[in-house]
């Protein structure tokens, strides 16, 4: 069995721990102090905030009766939380958005077990963000080393085949590479704020053909008689959440079958996380007919769930992209991630960007085979991102 080792000098910027150091493992977020935990969460990413993680647990979307079995690893110095990892023992790969089904099949065909595996990720959420939480006053490398080493021990104890960090940051990717993890590169489409003052200002960055098309799409909706508006934070009512729930369920029933999230999760979001929610709601007369559920934190906006009761032309583009670009410009949002996949994003001003995951495979032969596979996949992904952006409707990417 391969076991990761550190290859870096841990004496870096930040406080070095020299007191009572402990790493603890909890099966429930309720065992962790909320105030201390939230104090170390990434200021740009909301999905590891205590209230969001707690809602997944309390609603039963993750937990013992699911294929997402939590293991919260907490690093404490003198009783103070200075670092944390949110990981899950997985029995399948649904809801991860980094697709490793071929790896699982290769394990099986070789007489090996791919599941259980250990995953450090936000369930059902393909959004990039910090995965290794460290108090800002402490050395990231030193705290991360403690946390990852404990994660390795827990993974071995639980008979996991592998460890997977999904949608992590470039800094974390480099750190884990130094511990022997393999890097996988995929891609998404993100909108970036170039200091725009208005939507028309943004359109000035678009090539003429796409600019005309976007104006045409928005004009059609403006003349349709639909009322489309942003509703956020305390403006949100139970009526709005009822409509969003119906849209979410309709989308999942038509596209994917059973939904990952349940009504209780949405109710808990309304009760405890409303200050992060941004809805785009479309109304025809007195009836809500479509909308999106989005999450904002500081300079980052994340599009999550879309649905509509009827098929209105261009409504998807308005609710999922244009209205939220308006919102981003108005509120100073710098990056808007509209979710996984979807070349229709690319055509509407979202540039192709790399996303990363880090993987450690304990079986040496399997690790070597996956490393070889990733080498070719990375070259393909690099070329794909370049090709997309060379043809981008965004002038600052086109041809480069």
200-236, pLDDT tens digit by residue?
Answer: 999 999 999 999 999 999 999 999 999 999 999 999 9
pLDDT at 324 over 80: yes
Whether the CB-CB separation of 286 and 227 falls below 8 Å is answered with no
pLDDT at 191 over 70: yes
- Which token pair is 358? 């880090």
The per-residue pLDDT for 265 is 97
pLDDT at 340 over 90: no
| For residues 254-272, average pLDDT | 86
Q: Tell me the helices (H) and strands (E) count for the chain, helix number first.
A: 13, 13
Q: For residues 114 and 287, give the distance between their C-alpha atoms in angstroms, rounded to a whole number.
A: 48
98 Cα distance to chain centroid: 11
| For residues 124-143, average pLDDT | 96
The per-residue pLDDT for 37 is 98
pLDDT at 356 over 60: yes
- Which token pair is 345? 């994003």
Domain boundaries, the chain: 21-187+353-390, 194-333
pLDDT at 138 over 50: yes
Phi, psi torsion values for 159, nearest 5 degrees: 60, 35
Whether the CB-CB separation of 345 and 214 falls below 8 Å is answered with no
- Which token pair is 104? 């699982």
The per-residue pLDDT for 10 is 40
Predicted confidence band of residue 341 (pLDDT cuts 50, 70, 90): confident
Q: pLDDT for 163-181, tens place per residue?
A: 999 999 999 999 999 999 9
The per-residue pLDDT for 17 is 52
| For residues 81-101, average pLDDT | 96
Within 13 A of 158's CA, how many CA atoms are on the CB side?
25
pTM score of the predicted model: 0.94
pLDDT at 33 over 90: yes
Q: pLDDT for 291-309, tens place per residue?
A: 999 999 999 999 999 999 8
323 Cα distance to chain centroid: 21
Predicted confidence band of residue 51 (pLDDT cuts 50, 70, 90): very high
Residues 6+ apart with CB under 8 A from 264: 58, 59, 60
pLDDT at 150 over 80: yes
Percentage with pLDDT > 90 across the chain = 88
Predicted confidence band of residue 2 (pLDDT cuts 50, 70, 90): low
Predicted confidence band of residue 259 (pLDDT cuts 50, 70, 90): confident
Does 3.40.630.30 match the CATH number of domain 194-333? yes
pLDDT at 367 over 90: yes
The per-residue pLDDT for 254 is 59
The per-residue pLDDT for 15 is 54
Predicted confidence band of residue 343 (pLDDT cuts 50, 70, 90): confident
Q: For residues 8 and 5, give the distance between their C-alpha atoms in angstroms, rounded to a whole number.
A: 10
pLDDT at 21 over 80: yes
Q: What fold, for 21-187+353-390?
A: Aminopeptidase (3.40.630)
pLDDT at 7 over 50: no
Comparing 21-187+353-390 with 194-333, is the CATH topology the same?
A: yes
| For residues 239-255, average pLDDT | 86
Q: For residues 236 and 240, give the distance between their C-alpha atoms in angstroms, rounded to a whole number.
A: 6
The per-residue pLDDT for 342 is 74
pLDDT at 20 over 50: yes
| For residues 111-120, average pLDDT | 98
């Amino acid at each position: 069995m391969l076991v990761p080792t550190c290859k870096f000098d841990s004496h870096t910027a930040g406080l070095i721990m020299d007191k009572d150091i402990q790493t603890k493992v909890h099966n429930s977020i309720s065992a962790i102090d909320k105030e201390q935990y939230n104090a170390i969460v990434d200021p740009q990413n909301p999905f590891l905030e205590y209230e969001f993680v707690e809602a997944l647990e309390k609603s039963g979307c993750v937990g013992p009766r699911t294929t997402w079995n939590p293991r919260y690893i907490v690093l404490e110095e003198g009783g103070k939380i200075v670092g944390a990892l949110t990981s899950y023992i997985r029995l399948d790969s649904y809801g991860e958005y980094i697709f490793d089904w071929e790896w699982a099949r290769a394990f099986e065909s070789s007489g090996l077990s791919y599941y259980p595996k250990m995953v450090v990720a936000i369930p059902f959420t393909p959004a990039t963000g910090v995965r290794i939480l460290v108090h800002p006053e402490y050395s990231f490398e030193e705290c991360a080393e403690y946390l990852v080493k404990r994660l390795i021990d827990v993974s071995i104890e639980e008979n996991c085949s592998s460890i997977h960090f999904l949608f992590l940051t470039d800094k974390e990717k480099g750190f884990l590479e130094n511990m022997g993890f393999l890097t996988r590169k995929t891609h998404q489409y993100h909108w970036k704020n170039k200091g725009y003052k208005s939507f028309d200002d943004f359109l000035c960055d678009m090539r003429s053909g796409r600019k005309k098309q976007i104006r045409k799409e928005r004009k059609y909706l403006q003349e349709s008689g639909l009322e489309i508006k942003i509703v956020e934070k305390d403006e949100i009512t139970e009526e709005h959440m009822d409509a969003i729930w119906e849209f979410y369920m309709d989308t999942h029933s038509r596209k994917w079958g059973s939904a990952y999230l349940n009504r209780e999760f949405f109710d808990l979001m309304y009760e405890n996380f409303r200050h992060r929610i941004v809805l785009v709601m479309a109304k025809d007369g007195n009836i809500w007919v479509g909308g999106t559920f989005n999450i904002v934190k500081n300079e980052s906006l994340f599009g999550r769930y879309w649905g509509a009761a009827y098929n209105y032309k261009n409504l998807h583009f308005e609710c999922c992209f244009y209205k939220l670009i308006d919102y981003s410009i108005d509120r100073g949002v710098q990056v808007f991630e509209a979710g996984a996949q979807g070349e229709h994003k690319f055509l509407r001003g979202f540039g192709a960007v790399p996303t990363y995951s880090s993987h450690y495979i304990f079986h040496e032969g399997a690790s070597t085979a996956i490393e070889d596979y990733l080498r070719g996949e990375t070259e393909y992904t690099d070329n794909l991102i370049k090709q997309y952006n060379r043809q981008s409707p965004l002038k600052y990417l086109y041809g480069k």
